[in-house]
Amino acid sequence: MANNEENKTLHPETIIVTGAAGFIGSCMVRYLNKHGYENLILVDKFIKDEKLKNWKHKKYRYEVDRDLLFEWLERNNLSVDFVIHLGARTDTTEFDYTVHEVLNLEYSQDVWNYCTANNVPLIYASSAATYGAGELGYEDDHDVIKDLKPLNPYGVSKNEFDKWAVQQINQPPFWTGLKFFNVYGPNEYHKGRMASVIFHSFNQIHKNGGVKLFKSHKEEFKDGEQLRDFIYVKDVVKVMYWMMKQIMNKEWAKEKNEIYNIGTGKARTFNDLVKATFAAADRPANIVYIDMPEDIRNTYQYYTEASIHKLHKAGYDKPFYSLEDGVDDYVRNYLSAGKIW
């Protein structure tokens, strides 16, 4: 776990990051390391060899099996300063709700209760999947949460925890829930079918020179013109770090303890996304449209766009990567180079 960053101020705070071997979790650990946080407790199921490179070269103090976390914390009597809860079952094609319920709802409740009992600030990951088909829009308004209709069990489990969280009288001293929109970027190679369209497009480009996109099965959308709010993972971790620092520096009023959308606020088409991938790979665009698999056809989101007014009102004013710039950085510096972050 060598560290090549010189003249870095090391911070003593102990921070738990769940899902630390996964996509966003490992990127968050990288970003914390970059800013001098190395007294980290990484939590995950560290059993998948394909995830090993996501975390093995990071700087941290402990790695703890997810199922043993609370017993481990009690046994070691550690003082924890912050929890960033990113661990989740994220497979939107898993339709057995009980699979999602155990980790996305019940485990998250355990994390919340630990933070409440021990006076530890908490950031946790929710999802734009909670918005379903967007019948009620994409406003991160607590009053709407109870009426949302997610399209799959993953989204339901995330929304059930959001509903539970906002009803709690007993809360962590400071907390935020973050509804991530379509996150892409390095360290997602292990996600298989759930990896971003960019990841799959890059591999298809190098295999056969073309990319397959789903046809539209709604008249109001042309093929490839389905719209999503794509956000680069480097922006996601930057927002979380900003929130963490605001809370640690006591610049975060308790009135800001809310659920926030994390997106760019600008929907783009899958055609735009894939064309940017071709450009970053220095290849001419070659897109073929195929039928959408029937198992996801009825639960497919055709449009998402984050309302980020609340995030701006809370004080976050940094610009986000444009789609083209984010894809270019991802493809050239990570996918083409065979590197993680």
Q: Determine the average pLDDT of the residues in 149-160.
A: 93
Catalytic residue among 154, 184, 321, 334: 154
For the question of residue 310 being annotated catalytic, the response is: no
Among residues of the chain, what percentage have pLDDT more than 90? 85
Split at pLDDT 50, 70, 90, the class of 137 is very high
**Unique residue bearing structure tokens 């021990």:** 118
Contact 264, 311 (CB under 8 A): no
CA distance 325 to 334: 13
The answer to whether residue 48 is catalytic is no
Q: Which residue has the higher pLDDT, 5 or 82?
A: 82
Q: How far is CA 149 from CA 142, 186, 324, in A?
A: 14, 31, 32
4-18, 167-181, 230-244, 280-294: segment of lowest average pLDDT:
4-18
Identify the weakest region by mean pLDDT among 64-78, 82-96, 255-269, 320-334: 82-96
Architecture of the structural domain at 15-186+230-266+305-321: 3-Layer(aba) Sandwich (3.40)
Q: What is the DSSP string of 247-287?
A: HHTT---GGG-SEEEES-S--EEHHHHHHHHHHHTT----E
Task: Check residue 1 and give its pLDDT.
Answer: 45
**Cα 45–Cα 48–Cα 53 angle in degrees, nearest 5:** 100
| Contact of 185 with 237, CB cutoff 8 Å | no
Domain residue spans of the chain: 15-186+230-266+305-321
- pLDDT single digits (tens) 322-338: 999 999 999 999 999 99
Planar angle of CA 190, 138, 22, nearest 5 degrees: 15
User: Comparing 62-66, 87-91, 160-164, which segment has the lowest mean pLDDT?
Assistant: 87-91
Mean pLDDT, to the nearest integer, of 285-291? 95
User: Residue 99 — pLDDT band, cuts 50, 70, 90?
Assistant: confident
Residue 286 has pLDDT above 70, yes or no: yes
What is the pLDDT, as a whole number, of residue 2? Answer: 42
Catalytic residue chosen out of the listed positions 8, 34, 149, 191: 191
- Mean pLDDT, the chain, as a whole number? 93
How many Cα atoms within 13 Å fall on the side-chain side of residue 152? Answer: 21
The secondary structure of residue 11, as a DSSP letter, is B
178 exposure class (CB count in 10 Å sphere: 0-12, 13-18, 19+): buried
User: pLDDT digit string (tens) for 305-322?
Assistant: 999 999 999 999 999 999
Quickly state the pLDDT bin for 95 (edges 50, 70, 90): low
| The pTM of the whole model exceeds 0.85 | yes
